Amino acid sequence: MLPYNRILKPRARNQRREMTDAEQLLWMHLRRKQIGGVQFYRQKPIGNYIVDFYAPRANIVIEVDGSQHHELRAIKADAERDEFLSRLKLNILRVNNLQVLRETESVLDTIRLAIDKAGEQS
């Protein structure tokens, strides 16, 4: 089991209730093991972070980023977060809201490829 900060659990629950349109759309495709039979969790605390989606069997984290992630402060924070998650041997996929909303199939194909790659490595 991955380490997590228990203090983040209520915040994660709240984020599940208030997902963005892009997160909701992606969740419709990830839930109930629809992609490759892989279980995904949404708004999952890992360490001192809450990741948007996490697939433990494939060691994949998916982050759906809004425009605020292009600001310098957010870029630095994302780099620190990615470094921490990488140390846990997690593969991070970053997609932006517009990609999810406008290019859903392409995003799903990218996720499928990452799952296939994870299966080859295990």
* pLDDT tens per residue across span 92-113: 999 999 999 999 999 999 999 9
pTM over cut 0.85: yes
Give the count of beta carbons closer than 10 Å to the beta carbon of residue 7: 9
Domains and CATH numbers, the chain: 6-121 (3.40.960.10)
CA dihedral 71, 17, 53, 3 (to 10 degrees): 90
* pLDDT tens per residue across span 47-80: 999 999 999 999 999 999 986 756 778 789 999 9
